[in-house]
Amino acid sequence: MASKKKIQVAVPAPTAWPLVAALGMALTFTGFLTTWPIGLVGFILCMVGFVGWFKDCYPGDREVELEVLPHHIPAEVTTSRTLDTNHPLHRAKLPLKIHRAPSGIIGGIAGGIAMIVVAVLGSFILHGSPWHPFNLTAATLMQSMAELDLNTFHPTALFVALGIQLVASVCIGLVYGVALPLMPKHPILLGALIMPFIWSFLLYAAMRTINPELDDTVNWWWFLVAQVIFGLVAGFVVSKGEHIHTLQFKAFAERAGVEKNR
Euclidean distance between CA atoms 34 and 105, whole angstroms: 72
Which residues in this chain contact other proteins in the complex, by CB under 8 A? Answer: 1, 7, 9-19, 21-23, 25-26, 29-30, 32-34, 53, 56-68, 71-75, 77-81, 83, 85, 90-91, 94, 182, 209
Nearest-5° Cα angle at 182, 190 to 226: 30
Q: Which amino acid is at 260?
A: K
Q: Least distance in Å: CB of 112 to other proteins? A: 26
196 CB burial (10 A radius; 0-12, 13-18, 19+): buried
Q: Least distance in Å: CB of 19 to other proteins? A: 5
Q: Least distance in Å: CB of 2 to other proteins? A: 12
CA within 13 Å, CB half, 41: 9
Q: Least distance in Å: CB of 147 to other proteins? A: 22
Name every residue whose Cβ is closer than 8 Å to that of residue 137 and which is 6 or more positions away in sequence.
Answer: 160, 161, 164, 165
Q: Which is nearer to other proteins, 33 or 258 (CB)?
A: 33
Q: Which is nearer to other proteins, 10 or 166 (CB)?
A: 10
Cis status of the peptide bond prior to 59, with omega within 30 of 0: yes
Q: Least distance in Å: CB of 240 to other proteins? A: 24
Q: How many CB atoms lie within 10 A of CB 40?
A: 13
**Collapsed DSSP state (helix, strand, coil) of residue 188:** helix
Euclidean distance between CA atoms 17 and 118, whole angstroms: 79
Q: Least distance in Å: CB of 140 to other proteins? A: 16
